[in-house]
């Protein structure tokens, strides 16, 4: 099916939409070139998620989960349930204690760099999707060098390289060259690019990258199918198994996230935690981390949706992740405002971005700002400002706690 068959579905009649649906490729079948790995992790995650009935947990289940020393999936399930909401203050206090035990008061700082925004996927909620008429751009190597040099002058030593998901426009070699340039200026290099095969991860690891972030968006395959209409991203199992392929390719760490609010956020958060937990058991050396992006509830929405992820629910998810996996990193998004970020970093998050722009070529003036942004950020603080605010919270900003070996 060619890309040109896709149009904005919201303007279509039900009948045509039905017709379109029938013509979509099967989201559970791998496409040619996609590596299939021997793994039952996805099946285990989906089975656990499907069996998760958060309504059945009671106040005493939550109390037991809180009192427990080493928490497992059952305690995690209780802490994510509605019954845990009245215990949120206690959860936050315990989460803070666990964070301090494992990380002290260190908070890692980094910034993302968007080097291209071409995308072949059609994800109906995303600003980069292939049907959105935005300015597309891709930095050349010289421009990447200028941007990275400029970022490194802020004192940061960790960078997260992002592209839109276009294998054609931003191929593996291009991303590898970007990693090599990054090594000149940074100690820690992470990637948030399209999922790829384990041999490609091995190549990018050799180019200097050691961390891979992939957002699953939602772990519900039926919902996933309705949101990701075309492109490689449509293939659900290939995306779920990305972290495992990255680890097989020698990456040191992998990050997990559901975009909370796309579907039932409790189930998605539970699946995200289970996914991370199962992979940590299978690959005990892997460094695990979570991101916690959410779709913001619509202000003045007269229908109160119990599935909306307000700040309270976001905090519940973050603290549940921390209490379930006290050793995991947690990154707090610039989609959140400074107030929420500072509070969450004081409780459970261990990594925060600063000086963020999600556009292409926006860090230096010499590089023409030529690509539109993926999303609007809600925290525009500079590196110095975030540094100062962390210090005020008696937290210690850390630029790098890593050595490439």
The distance of Cα 109 from the centroid of its chain, to the nearest Å, equals: 16
Q: Is 401 in the site for other proteins (CB under 8 A)?
A: yes
- Number of residues lying near other proteins (CB under 8 A): 33
Q: Which is nearer to other proteins, 81 or 289 (CB)?
A: 289
Q: Is 306 in the site for other proteins (CB under 8 A)?
A: no
Q: How far is the CB of 398 from other proteins (least distance, A)?
A: 7
Q: Is 388 in the site for other proteins (CB under 8 A)?
A: no
Q: Is 405 in the site for other proteins (CB under 8 A)?
A: yes
Q: Is 286 in the site for other proteins (CB under 8 A)?
A: yes
- Exactly one of 156, 175, 193, 251 binds other proteins (CB under 8 A); that residue is 156
Task: Give the span between the Cα atoms of 19 and 149, in whole angstroms.
Answer: 50
- Exactly one of 73, 82, 127, 155 binds other proteins (CB under 8 A); that residue is 155
Q: Which is nearer to other proteins, 230 or 352 (CB)?
A: 352
Report the run of H or E that residue 225 belongs to, with start and end: helix 221-227
Residue written as tokens 């909620």?
A: 125
The 3-state secondary structure of 212-237 reads EEEEEECCCHHHHHHHEEECHHHCHH
- Exactly one of 20, 44, 105, 343 binds other proteins (CB under 8 A); that residue is 105
Q: Is 285 in the site for other proteins (CB under 8 A)?
A: yes
Q: How far is the CB of 101 from other proteins (least distance, A)?
A: 5
3-state secondary structure of 301: coil
Q: How far is the CB of 58 from other proteins (least distance, A)?
A: 29
Q: Is 346 in the site for other proteins (CB under 8 A)?
A: no
- Exactly one of 187, 239, 245, 363 binds other proteins (CB under 8 A); that residue is 187
Q: Is 287 in the site for other proteins (CB under 8 A)?
A: yes
Q: Of 3-11, 45-53, 220-228, 283-291, which segment contacts other proteins by CB under 8 A?
A: 283-291
3-state secondary structure of 189: strand
Q: How far is the CB of 152 from other proteins (least distance, A)?
A: 8
CB 342 within 8 A of CB 393: yes
Q: Which is nearer to other proteins, 43 or 153 (CB)?
A: 153
Task: Give the span between the Cα atoms of 211 and 287, in whole angstroms.
Answer: 9
- Exactly one of 104, 142, 298, 305 binds other proteins (CB under 8 A); that residue is 104
CB 334 within 8 A of CB 378: yes
CA atoms within 13 A on the CB side of 2: 2
Q: Is 175 in the site for other proteins (CB under 8 A)?
A: no
Task: Give the span between the Cα atoms of 251 and 402, in whole angstroms.
Answer: 13
Report the run of H or E that residue 324 belongs to, with start and end: helix 311-324
CA-nearest of 175, 182, 160 to 109 is 160
Q: Is 125 in the site for other proteins (CB under 8 A)?
A: no
- Exactly one of 288, 345, 352, 356 binds other proteins (CB under 8 A); that residue is 288
Q: How far is the CB of 405 from other proteins (least distance, A)?
A: 4
Q: Of 10-18, 30-38, 57-65, 280-288, which segment contacts other proteins by CB under 8 A?
A: 280-288
Residue written as tokens 């949101």?
A: 227
CA-nearest of 166, 109, 132, 128 to 331 is 109
Report the run of H or E that residue 353 belongs to, with start and end: strand 351-353
Residue 163 backbone dihedrals phi, psi, to 5 degrees:
-135, 165
- Exactly one of 10, 284, 300, 392 binds other proteins (CB under 8 A); that residue is 284
Q: Is 206 in the site for other proteins (CB under 8 A)?
A: no
CB 249 within 8 A of CB 201: yes
Residue 179 backbone dihedrals phi, psi, to 5 degrees:
-65, -40
- Exactly one of 157, 170, 350, 358 binds other proteins (CB under 8 A); that residue is 157
Q: Which residues contribute to the site for other proteins (CB under 8 A)?
A: 100-106, 155-157, 187, 280, 284-288, 325, 327, 383, 387, 391, 394-403, 405
């Amino acid at each position: 099916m060619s890309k040109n068959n896709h149009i904005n579905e919201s303007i279509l009649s039900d009948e045509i939409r039905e017709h379109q649906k029938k013509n979509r490729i099967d989201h559970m079948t791998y496409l040619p070139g996609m590596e299939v790995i021997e793994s039952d992790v996805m099946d285990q995650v989906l089975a656990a998620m499907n069996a998760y009935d958060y309504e059945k947990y009671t106040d005493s289940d939550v109390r037991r989960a809180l009192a427990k020393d080493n928490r497992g999936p059952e305690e995690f399930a209780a802490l994510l349930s509605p019954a845990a909401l009245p215990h949120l203050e206690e959860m936050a206090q315990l989460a803070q204690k666990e964070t301090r035990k494992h990380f002290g008061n260190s908070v890692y700082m980094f910034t993302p760099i968007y080097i291209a925004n071409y995308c072949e996927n059609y994800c109906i909620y995303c600003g980069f999707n292939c049907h959105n008429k935005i300015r597309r751009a891709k930095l050349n190597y010289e421009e990447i060098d200028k941007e990275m040099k400029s970022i490194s002058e802020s004192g940061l030593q960790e960078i997260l390289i992002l592209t839109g998901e276009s294998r054609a426009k931003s191929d593996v070699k291009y991303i590898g060259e970007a990693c090599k340039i990054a090594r000149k200026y940074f100690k820690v290099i992470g990637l948030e690019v399209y999922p790829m095969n384990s041999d490609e991860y091995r190549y990018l690891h050799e180019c200097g990258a050691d961390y891979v972030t992939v957002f699953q968006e939602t772990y519900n395959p039926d919902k996933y199918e309705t949101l990701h209409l075309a492109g490689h991203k449509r293939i659900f199992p290939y995306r779920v198994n990305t972290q495992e392929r990255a680890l097989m390719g020698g990456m040191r760490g992998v990050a997990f996230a559901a975009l909370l609010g796309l579907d039932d956020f409790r189930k998605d958060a539970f699946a995200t935690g289970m996914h991370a937990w199962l992979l940590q058991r299978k690959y005990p050396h892997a460094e695990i981390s979570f991101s916690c992006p959410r779709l913001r509830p619509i202000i003045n929405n007269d229908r109160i949706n119990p599935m909306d992820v307000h700040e309270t629910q976001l905090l519940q998810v973050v603290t549940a992740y921390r209490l379930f996996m006290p050793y995991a990193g947690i990154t707090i998004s610039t989609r959140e405002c400074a107030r929420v970020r500072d509070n969450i970093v004081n409780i459970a998050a261990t990594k925060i971005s600063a000086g963020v722009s999600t556009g292409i070529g926006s860090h230096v003036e010499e590089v023409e700002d030529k690509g539109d942004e993926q999303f609007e950020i809600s925290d525009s603080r500079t590196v110095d400002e975030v540094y100062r605010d962390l210090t005020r919270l008696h937290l210690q900003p850390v630029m790098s706690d890593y050595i490439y070996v």
